[in-house]
Each structure stands twice: as C-alpha cells, then as structure tokens.
Amino acid sequence: MTERVIAVRGARQHNLRNVDVDLPRDALVVITGPSGSGKTSLAFDTVYAEGQRRYVESLDAYARQFLDQLEKPDVDSITGLSPAIAVRQEPLRKSARSTVGTITEIQDRLRVLFARVGQAHCPICGRPIRAFAAEQMIARAMSFGEGARLSIAAPIARGVVSDLAAELSRLRKDGFVRARLDGVAVDLGDDVRVEAGRAHDLDVIVDRVVVRDASRSRLSDSIELALRTGGGIVRLIPETGEPELLSERPMCPVDGIVLPEITPKTFSFATPEGACAVCHGLGEIDALDPARVAPDLERSIADGAILAWGKPGAALHRAMTAALAGYAIDLDAPLRSLDEATLHALMHGGLPPRAPKASRSKAKPKAETAPYEGVLPLLERRLASAEADAGDDESELLTELREDLERFRSRGVCAACEGSRLGPTARGVTVDGLSLVEVARLPGTALRPRLAGLRLRGADAEIAAPLLREIDARLAFLDDVGVGYLSVGRATTTLSSGEAQRVRLATRLGGSLVGVLYVLDEPSLGLHPRDTERLIRSLVRLRDEGNTVLVVEHDLDVIRAADFVVDMGPKAGVLGGTIVAKGSATDLAASPESVTGPYLRETARVPRKKARKDRGALVVEGARVHNLKNVAAHFPNGALTVVSGVSGSGKSSLVVSTLLPLVRAAVLRAPAPPALGTLSGKVTVVRVIAVDDVAIGRTPRSTPASYVGLLGPLRELYAALPEARARGYGVARFSSNVKGGRCETCRGEGRIRVEMQLLPDLSITCPECGGRRYNKETLEVRYKGLSIADLLALSVDEAEPILSVQAPVAARLRTMHELGLGYLRLGQSATTLSGGEAQRLALARELSRRTSDPTLYVLDEPTTGLHPSDVDLLLAVLERLADDGHTVVVIEHDPLVIAHADHVVDLGPEGGDEGGRILAEGTPSEIVRAGTPTGKAIAPLLA
C-alpha cells in the first residue's frame, strides 16, 4: 500500500525552481528556511491556492460568483489535496467595535444565550422583570387560592399631572362603572373630583371575581378585556395583600418601565437596539480631561492652574476666578492641597457657595446661590453656545475655540455604560446572576469555569447546553494558543501582533473539522518559549483528529515537534526556491546542506559580551497603564535593551504605551499625562523612531523601492538627466502612477486583469509595455545605460554599485543589504513579499534614517517572519546602532535576541491581570540566575 501524500510536481510559483516534494497527509509538516527562500510560495501560493481553487470549482456556478477565486498556481500537478483553510500572517481587522469576542464569534453565541435564557432587571431599581402571556396571567390569578376575592384592573394613567375628566368620561361611555384613583376605589357614576396640579394614578376596574375553578373562563375574558384596555398591562388587586402588575412586555412592577422585546440584537453593541446611546457602542468617548485642563497640581487657581482659562490676568481668567469667589474654595491654595471631593466638585460641578456671614441686619436675605456648575461643564456649555450662535456658518472664532478646547480632550471610558458598550436593557439581563458585562470582563481562563457552573433548569438548561459547549470550545482554543488571559470584551485595537495572530488562529481552529488541510503562517508569532508547548499540543491534536497541518515556521521547538520538515534555501529570492533538506528534525540537524540544521544542534552560540560604556539610563517609574502594577524599569542609554516576558505580561504597555510617549514628551519638552507615570534618569536622546508591526501596502503598485523611499530620489535623478531636461520632462514623468510617463494600457501596473466570469480573473503581462509600466518615450531616458524600468528590475545588491554615488539612495540600499534583503528587486510587487520580508522592509525604512543625533529606536517583535540566520543579520544591525551611541529597546520573545542584549527587563509572572510586574532586570546572565521562564529559555544559549 502506497503512503498517503500530497504530491507536488514542478512547482514554479514566484521563486520556486521546479520543486518536487511529497508532503505526508494526516501529519504535522513544517516548511522552514531563510526569509524569502520560497516557504510561503510553496505552502500558501501553491499548495493552499490549488486546494482552495479546486474546492471552489466543485461548487455550482451560482455559489462561485460570490466567492473570491484564486488563480491556478504555476505547478505541473498536485495530488492528494483536501479542502484547505489558511491562517495567514496579516493584520487583524481592528475596528473600533471589534473585540476578541466578535472575532472568535463567542459574542454571537453569548448574545443568543442571554436573549433566550436571561432574566431582565429594571434599570432603575434592579428588580427582576418578566413578560407574561395571557395564560400565565390567568394562572397567576388562579394561584391566589380557592375563594379569594380579586379585582381585575387595567392601568389608564400613571403619574399624570393633568385633568383626567376626559379619561373618566371615555371610561363611562365604554360601560365601565368602577375605577381606582390614586389607590382609592371610586364610582364612575358619581362626580369624581380630581385635584389639579399633582400627579395621579388611574386604574379602571374591569371585573371583580371570586377565584374558583368554575370562574376560570370568566377570568380569561376579564384579563383579555383588561389587556386591550390597558395597552397590554393588567393589575391584579386581591382583597388582602399587595396589588400585582403584569404585562405582556417586560415591565418593572414598581417603576413602570417597559423594556423593549429582548432579542439577540439587544446584546449587540453594533446595532442601535443594543448600543449605549451615549458612546454608540464604542465604550469610550472624547471628553474634556481634568488632567489636561489642570495638569500642574502645584499651582493655584489664581496662579493659572486651569489652563483652559488662559494666563492670569487674561479676560477669561479674571471672569472665571471672579465667579468662583463666592464658593467654598481657596483660590490661592495649590490644587494638590485640596481634598478629593472639593477637586471633583470644582471640575465636574457641585461646589457649594460660601456660608454667609452672620448679620444682625433685618434686611431681606438674598436668593440662595446655586452650587458651582463645574469647570468642565462650563467649557462644554461655552462651546455649545458658540455653535448655536454660529448656526450653519463655521466662523473663524468658533473654529479657534473648538481647536483650543481640543487640546484638553482625551479619550476616556464612557460614564453611562462604564465601558461595557451596551445599553441599560442589555446590562440588566443576567443568566444565573451573571451579566454580559461581567462575562466580557472576565479573562477566558476564569470565564470557562464560571459558565460551566451556571445553574440552569428545565427548558433553559436544554437551550443553553449547545451554546455553552461551543463557547467553551472556543475559549479552550484561546487558552491552548496562549491567550487565555484575554477577556472576550478586549478591544482588538489593544492587541499586540502576536495576540492578534493567535486570536485569528483560535478562530479558525475552533471549528473542529476533520479531513482538512490547515495551512498556518508562523503560529508561534508573539509566543513566549514557555507557552510554545501548548501551541504544539493544539497542532498535534488537530493532526490526531485526522487533519493535515502544514506550518510555515522558524521556531525550533515547533520544528523539532514536526513529523516532517522541509528546509528551503539555500538563500533568499533568486538564490533560493529549492529544497536543501527534508525529513525529521534529526535528519536536518545531521544534514550538511540544511540551513536550519546548525541551529537545531544543541550548542552554545552566544559569547559573553563586553559591557558597554555607562551613559546613564532612562528610568520609568510608577507605570500603571493597562495591567502594569506601578512598575519601575531602567533602559540604559547607548545599549540594546530587550523587554521580555510571557504573552500579555505588559511588554507593549511598558514600552509602547508608557516609555514611548514619556520620551517623546521629554524630547518635545511638553507635559506628559500623569497617568503614564514619570520619566527620570538621564535623557540623552533627541529623536525617537518606533517600528511597529503595521504591514506595508500590499497592492500591485506598492514596491520595496516605494516603501523605503527610493522612488522619489530616483525620479529626481532621471528628471535631472540632460535627455530629460531637453525633452522638458519633470519628476512626475517618471512616476508610474500618473498620466504622462506611464503606460496607459495597463495604467502603470505592468499587468492587465481579465475578467473570466465563472473562472477566476486572469492577470496577464501588459502587451504594450511588456510589464515595464512606462511608455516608450519615458524609457528612452537612461542613466548609465539603464532606463528607470531597467533600474527597478535590478536587485538591491545589483543596484548598489550603480547608485553608490547617489547618497540618499545608497544609504537605503545599504541598510536593506545589511538586513538580508539584497536579493529583492526594487520594483517587485509587494503582493509577492513574505511576512518576514515585509517586516524587514519596515525596519529598513526606519533604520536608513540614521543620524549622529542620539536616537531612541523602539522595535516591536522585529524577528517576526525571520529564520535564525536572518536574526543573526538583524542582531548585527541592532548591535551597530548601540555601538554608535543610540538607545535600542526591543520587545521580543526570541531567545537568541534576548541572549544578545546588554540589558533585559523581564515581565510576568503571567498574562493579563496576573502580569504587569518585573520579575527580573539586568544582564542575560542575571536573568538566567533569577530562574524566570525567560531565563530558562535562554540558559542553553549562554552555557
């Protein structure tokens, strides 16, 4: 019997060089190799693309027209394919309303759960609310017991301050003879007097019955009549005891609030039915921030502490302080000396007036002064008044006022919904005492046992069971991939790149399919070595359930756990695209041709570093952003510092959300928000450059040259040539994006897309320009015998000697070469770049801006998509930056990068609320001695 395999023959997609390979089915297969060696081209652009294309083609013509169809890859044949699912390394959709719950579809199931088995409560008094069907009302009336005397009433008016004569007259005409006015029985045949000027309640008595089995039919008729008369509400009034209010809709029997119908939309903050009316489902609002309005608490009101009033002596400042003179506050006292209640009343309103002095005069006392309106409400009212006066005309004065107040605004938690995003109805619904607001705030690891322990009975338990099973399965996958500390209400805008990748992974893997080909792009991205074992268990479980798991990966632990490994290389681009070794991880370690083999051998590779010159350090103190617990951390100047720790431990909060804004404020000599903590120590940097995980443009027009800023200088170079000047060509002539110099047949794209109706669209080389993007006249202008299209067709390494005298261009080319991107063609479409190549292009763009000015470089997981051999190149660049006196701070999990650091800040011990503390700080050797999870991971490299 032949082995079951996915047999790939003659793969030539992108840089693949006629690759033949047999990938075992129902196995965990890893494809590794240097960035740009062809891993993505083989796994995604060939195997996955063909599997997806065949699956879509198996559908009927009607279904195919709604699906994006992939082009047939350049391959002779692939056999043994299954339907394919891909989890690519791409940015998660981070909209303002996107959360972990919405991305994983946990929120959808929670909405149904709460709509079907939830107990509504009154938004005012908190009492349980329920709706009654007519049959339930009859049953409730019968429950008063045999012989009980009961009045059936229909509410007509509640808290009405008006003359009820018209209502009373209408009730008489309708044949009713009795009513209850403010709880007192009245005869409608009499002249009923209604006191004017006060609120009244009016119920009409529909019937008075004695509860017996024989009276059930009469009760039914009376309740039906009461429902029609009272607009769906009935009041049962026993002879002894309290009256009961029953409604066909959810209604509070005390406050009389009628809730809308409870549906899944009630719990969706993306719909008007469920969203908070104040923040419109965002959970945050832009509002005046007291910390910005009065940032210096050492100053007094008289001394100009309220910045929004202008400097002391200004007209607005004089008017506002004069208005405050009559209130109980010392205008000459520093704000810090005021108690919290007084400071809050000053800002938000409620400051009491000064007590009047005792007087023996018999003069009539003055009218009582109202409490102070508050600094923030006054400013908002000032803006609202100016807008009302301006009407539709945006005056210069109004624009100036709006811009002036904008300086004092910040985005904060919505006070109405307390950040839950939901309206009052949704917030008041509970399942076994658990509200959706509480569910959204619980970490996944705590939510699972809480949901498992819900006490539900009867039909509720039957309805909830399948929903709870699916929710638990998705929460389990989040835990398996190392992000169980995330809450379902966590906004995706706050996730790191690694967290976003693994949330997407959990979403795709949570379907529990069998017989599927899963193609994953670096699932270990952003995962601490301590948590890699859990990821491996998830991948192995997928395999054991009967799936084929094909992973593009660089993590050595994942490679060692694979059943089969394909090592691509030997280098990148045109120097790659071949299989240099395949087999088990042991086979690769023993192979002299394998690029990955040397890194799989258990050998120490990081020598002890010589200590750099002490230039002082940036010191962050009192950091409390997100989950940080009053952290104090040191970042040595002129050194390579790595911030490490398990996922969710607070690395991004410390570096991106705290260190970066504090240093930027210090460089600009501007005040920083007090909530960030303080920056002390020696601030030597004069520039700040941050390289984040935002992907580069992936359109056909985007190229490495355009992204790193080469095209501008190149266009200027060609426009300055004698031939171009003689023809009157300007810089725009050498742009493929505008008319004049580009080929108009393909509009400067080099390719033409042909719609094929039910078949996937076909992309062909432009027959007019041959894919060169420019028209014939533009291409006649040459530099050193090369047209601009010829130059863009060169690799970075080929172009470097030709452009060595062009300083702005040469510096960028040199940086790209140093980062291992010398093989990339300058005009290569960004759609053909791998994740690692795109990340290093982003690095090259920032690092090419090197200056002699001391600079703070902040990099967020720069090893994303990099093979260990590429990491060596990256480290050489970072070390050189530190050698030049720059301060480099890197958020990283890669043990090799951590082991090379001059200083390590290790956070933990866990993620989420259990993190946010510094476990150890110092050299890599000191981290090893501290015994932290990071120390254990880098210990073998420092042996």
Phi/psi-derived region of residue 80, left when phi > 0, alpha when psi is between -120 and 50, beta in every other case: left
Partners of 752 in beta bridges: 764
DSSP for 29-73?
EEEE-STTSSHHHHIIIIIIHHHHHHHHHTS-HHHHTTSPPPPPP
Q: How many CA atoms lie within 13 A of 924 on its CB side?
A: 26
Main-chain dihedrals φ then ψ at residue 372, nearest 5 degrees: -65, 135
Main-chain dihedrals φ then ψ at residue 611, nearest 5 degrees: -60, 135
Q: Residue 418 in contact with residue 105, Cβ under 8 Å?
A: no
Q: CB within 8 A of 459, min separation 6: which ones?
A: none
The pairing of beta strand 184-187 with beta strand 178-181: antiparallel
Q: How many angstroms separate the CA atoms of 71 and 666, rounded?
A: 52
Residues 83/84/85/86 CA torsion (nearest 10 deg): -170
Sheet (strand 233-238) strand order: 184-187, 178-181, 200-210, 149-160, 233-238, 244-247
Residues 844/847/848/849 CA torsion (nearest 10 deg): 140
Residue ranges for the chain with pLDDT beneath 70: 1-3, 62-69, 90-94, 355-369, 386-401, 497, 510-512, 602-605, 607, 692-700, 755-762, 834-836, 850, 943
CB atoms within 10 A of CB 93: 11
Helix (H) or strand (E) holding 25: none
- For residue 410, give the DSSP letter: E
Q: Residue 743 in contact with residue 776, Cβ under 8 Å?
A: no
Place of tokens 């498992």: 452
Q: Tens digits of per-residue pLDDT, 431-486?
A: 999 999 999 999 999 999 999 999 999 889 999 999 999 999 899 888 888 788 89
Q: CB within 8 A of 477, min separation 6: which ones?
A: 505, 506, 509, 510, 538
pTM for this entry: 0.74
Q: How many angstroms separate the CA atoms of 419 and 438, rounded?
A: 12
> What are 69's two structure tokens?
């169809």
> What are 801's two structure tokens?
């000697």
CB atoms within 10 A of CB 728: 7
The predicted pLDDT at position 553 comes to: 93
The pairing of beta strand 517-521 with beta strand 84-87: parallel
> What are 880's two structure tokens?
């050189």
Helix axes 835-847, 868-883, angle to 10 degrees: 10
The predicted pLDDT at position 941 comes to: 86
The predicted pLDDT at position 2 comes to: 42
Q: How many angstroms separate the CA atoms of 411 and 96, rounded?
A: 12
> What are 793's two structure tokens?
């067709």
> What are 517's two structure tokens?
């080909």
> What are 706's two structure tokens?
């355009």
The predicted pLDDT at position 367 comes to: 46
Q: How many CA atoms lie within 13 A of 443 on its CB side?
A: 16
DSSP for 521-575?
E-TTTT--GGGHHHHHHHHHHHHHTT-EEEEE---HHHHHH-SEEEEEESSSGGG
Q: Residue 333 in contact with residue 324, Cβ under 8 Å?
A: no
CB atoms within 10 A of CB 701: 16
Place of tokens 């994953």: 520
Q: How many angstroms separate the CA atoms of 582 and 186, rounded?
A: 95
The predicted pLDDT at position 159 comes to: 78
Q: Residue 566 in contact with residue 579, Cβ under 8 Å?
A: yes
The predicted pLDDT at position 205 comes to: 92
Q: How many angstroms separate the CA atoms of 230 and 247, rounded?
A: 9
The predicted pLDDT at position 644 comes to: 95
The predicted pLDDT at position 628 comes to: 92
Q: How many angstroms separate the CA atoms of 276 and 278, rounded?
A: 6
Place of tokens 């039909």: 459
Q: Tens digits of per-residue pLDDT, 23-49?
A: 999 999 999 999 889 998 999 999 999
